[in-house]
Amino acid sequence: MLTALERKILNFIGEYLRENGGRSPTLSEIGEGCGVKSVGTIHRYIASIEDKGFLEKARSGWRTLLAPNELPFKGIIAAGKPIEAVEQNESIDLSALLVQPDCFLLKIEGDSMIDSGILDGDLVVIKPAQTASNGQIVVALVDSENASLKEFEKIDNGRRIKLIPHNKRMKAQIYDAGRVEIQGILSSVIRTY
């Protein structure tokens, strides 16, 4: 987690980048904007922020600092009975939430997972894996050519694999275990409107 001053420095850098067409502030500008006189102190704080993964240097040089992919978290909204609106002043790092090491994206085509809220056109974040536990939603490659996102279940002491759609109009498919290769496990779903 970031200290209060690290968060202040990071927020200053993000705002500066937006207001100045992507040009990063100098250490002096950061110090002035955050009320810190020592450039050396700012340098140490930036190094700490980088070490924590919230900031990185771009290839074009040390002046181009990249702010994290964060959005302000304003609170909870009811999707049923209305609740009291209480504003929260937090932020959520989307890159940490959505992107784990080695993950990849796939775009959903079809409606076999609609009962789990995975719709045609959604993007899914997949964590690479070669094995899965019963009940996990996986990317399964059948006969080395047909890939599908389905719930995974081993049956008959692991000799067969059941791939279960989450659409009550569709039936599960059962394959000999040797025909099914697990490519990854569902990590998250991304939908835009």
CA 8-9-14 angle, to 5 degrees, is 100
Give the containing element (helix H, strand E) for 2: none
* 193 residues of the chain, pLDDT tens digit each: 678 898 889 888 888 877 887 778 889 999 999 999 999 999 999 988 888 777 777 665 444 455 556 566 666 666 666 766 666 666 666 666 666 667 888 999 999 999 999 999 999 988 999 999 999 999 999 999 889 999 999 999 999 999 999 999 999 999 999 999 999 999 999 898 8
Give the active site residue among 57, 91, 112, 162.
Answer: 112
Burial state string for 128-144 with b = 16 or more CB within 10 A and e = fewer than 16 = eeeebeeeebbbbbbee
Query: Is 150 among the catalytic positions?
Result: yes
Domains defined for the chain, CATH in brackets:
1-98 (1.10.10.10), 104-190 (2.10.109.10)
The token pair at 126 is 């997949």
Q: What single-letter DSSP state applies at residue 26?
A: P
> How many angstroms separate the Cα of 80 from the Cα of each of 76, 83, 86, 152, 192?
12, 9, 16, 32, 22
pTM for the model = 0.60
Give the active site residue among 52, 150, 154, 162.
Answer: 150
